[in-house]
Amino acid sequence: GYFNQRVTECRFSSKDLQGAEFIDSYVFNKAEYVRFNSTVGKFVGYTEHGVKNAEAWNSDAAFLAQERGELERYCKPNAAIYY
């Protein structure tokens, strides 16, 4: 069989949330092929398929804006739960 997974995570380096970042990773058969990082602000592909996806998703302004907003919408309001 095949293994497909999407992993989203919030990373915090301190309680003041200065270094907080949102990561959205796409994995196929245990190999990450594309990732959004809020620090970078766009998708980055790691395989040929991932590069094609990253190009398409980065050109979709609405989708990219939604990903960029996840740090403020999801990570920062829920930071106290992680601490």
Query: According to the model, what pLDDT value does residue 81 have?
Result: 83
Q: Is 83 strand, coil or helix?
A: coil
- Per-residue pLDDT of 43-73, as tens digits, reads 999 999 999 999 999 999 999 999 999 999 9
> What letter represents residue 66's amino acid?
Q
Number of structural domains found in the chain: 1
Q: What percent of the chain has pLDDT over 70?
A: 100
What is the distance, to the nearest Å, from the Cα of residue 16 to the centroid of all Cα atoms in its chain? Answer: 21
DSSP 10-56: EE-SSTT-TT-EEEEEEEETTEEEEEEETTTTEEEESSHHHHHHHHH
CATH at residue 10: 3.10.320.10
Burial track 45-65 (b if 16+ CB lie within 10 A, e otherwise): beeeebeebbeebbeeeeebe
Give residue 63's domain range.
4-81
In this prediction the pTM is 0.88
